[in-house]
């Protein structure tokens, strides 16, 4: 049996074909900027991906979306970076056109699901995932399933207030996304290059970043008490420059001595295709 996973990003859209939890094919395309074109291209790529496989062997299609969905996961609500998909019942359209069962989920939830079932949090019962990039995303898996919350939006870790003042709301996203580096006049990737060369100023900025991340992770632990936390997103690639200061902060701020000692803090293992892989897993675990 085969599952198809699609991770629609603002810039790129990734496809994987999975069989027995192994990636059989993968593909990456630029995301069209208009709804009709996007749907056409998705359907064309799905057909390519499964060409030669009998329809009876195709179990379903999972789609990861960078933004909020309604609680039933039938509609895309208002994705900040894909505004032309607002209110689009994308999974229903594709299911009808291709006659293959199709489900949708928030892309960060797909990422956490993939890491829980196949990645660095494999086997953990309660997993919180956090993605560090343009924004800070989050998701929670409990017993192999994504926790949606009462209104469909649990796990929005980027919007926890960690430090505010009269002028700033002080959300974690202000301190742990690319915005943090932008305020210092640099991109995280460029800073990473400098840090690799031992630049002291760069190392110091990453240390400061790690402190904020550690505070955010401590809040997650004190509230959810997960067995594992998985960190993904572009900035996580520089983890060796900030995880030490993050872990120091966690030791200072987590209440439970057991959580402090035993919680597993891991970096994403599945990397770039984790969202698409997670989307395939929705078909059974969504």
By CB under 8 A, name the binding residues for its own copies: 68, 71, 124-126, 138, 148-157, 159-164, 169-171, 215, 218-220, 222-227, 252-256, 258-259, 262-263
- C-alpha 70/C-alpha 48 separation (Å) is 30
Which residue, 81 or 259, has its beta carbon nearer to its own copies?
259
Terminal CA-to-CA distance of the chain, rounded, Å? 18
Alpha-carbon distances, residue 18 vs 5, 59, 282 (angstroms): 8, 10, 12
Which residue, 111 or 273, has its beta carbon nearer to its own copies?
111
Which residue, 23 or 160, has its beta carbon nearer to its own copies?
160
| Smallest gap from residue 211 Cβ to its own copies (A) | 10
Which residue, 39 or 77, has its beta carbon nearer to its own copies?
77
Would you call 8 helix, strand, or coil by DSSP?
strand
Q: Specify the pairing of strand 264-267 against strand 228-232.
A: parallel
| Smallest gap from residue 255 Cβ to its own copies (A) | 4
| Smallest gap from residue 207 Cβ to its own copies (A) | 15
284, 277 contact by CB (below 8 A): no
| Contacts of residue 36, Cβ cutoff 8 Å, sequence gap at least 6 | none
CA 167 to chain centre: 29
Q: Specify the pairing of strand 58-65 against strand 12-19.
A: unpaired
Question: What's the CA angle centered on 237, arms 232 and 242, to 5 degrees?
Answer: 95
| Smallest gap from residue 261 Cβ to its own copies (A) | 8
Which residue, 1 or 255, has its beta carbon nearer to its own copies?
255
Which residue, 46 or 76, has its beta carbon nearer to its own copies?
76
| Smallest gap from residue 162 Cβ to its own copies (A) | 5
| Smallest gap from residue 151 Cβ to its own copies (A) | 4
């Amino acid at each position: 049996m085969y599952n198809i996973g699609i991770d629609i990003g603002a810039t790129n859209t990734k496809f994987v074909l999975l069989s027995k939890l192994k990636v059989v094919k993968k593909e990456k395309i630029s995301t069209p900027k208009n709804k009709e074109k996007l749907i056409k291209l998705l359907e064309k790529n799905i057909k390519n991906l499964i060409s030669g496989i009998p329809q009876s062997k195709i179990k379903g299609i999972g789609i990861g979306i960078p933004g909020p969905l309604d609680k039933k996961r039938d509609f895309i609500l208002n994705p900040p970076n894909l505004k032309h998909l607002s209110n689009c019942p994308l999974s229903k359209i594709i299911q009808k056109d291709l006659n293959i069962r199709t489900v949708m989920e928030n892309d960060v939830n797909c990422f956490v699901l993939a890491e829980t079932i196949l990645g660095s949090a494999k086997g953990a019962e309660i997993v919180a995932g956090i993605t560090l990039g343009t924004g800070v995303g989050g998701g929670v898996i409990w017993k192999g399933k994504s926790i949606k919350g009462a209104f469909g939006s649990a796990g929005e870790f980027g919007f926890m207030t960690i430090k505010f003042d009269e002028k700033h709301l002080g959300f974690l996203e202000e301190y742990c996304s690319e915005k943090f580096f932008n305020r210092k006049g640099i991109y995280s990737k460029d800073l990473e290059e400098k840090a690799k060369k031992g630049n002291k100023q760069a190392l110091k900025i990453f240390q400061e970043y790690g402190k904020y991340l550690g505070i955010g992770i401590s809040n997650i632990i004190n509230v959810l008490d997960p067995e594992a936390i998985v960190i993904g997103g572009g900035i996580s690639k520089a983890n060796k420059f900030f995880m030490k200061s993050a872990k120091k902060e966690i030791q200072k701020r987590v209440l439970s001595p057991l959580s402090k000692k035993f919680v597993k803090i891991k970096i994403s293992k599945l990397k770039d295709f984790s969202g698409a892989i997670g989307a395939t897993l929705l078909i059974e675990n969504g």
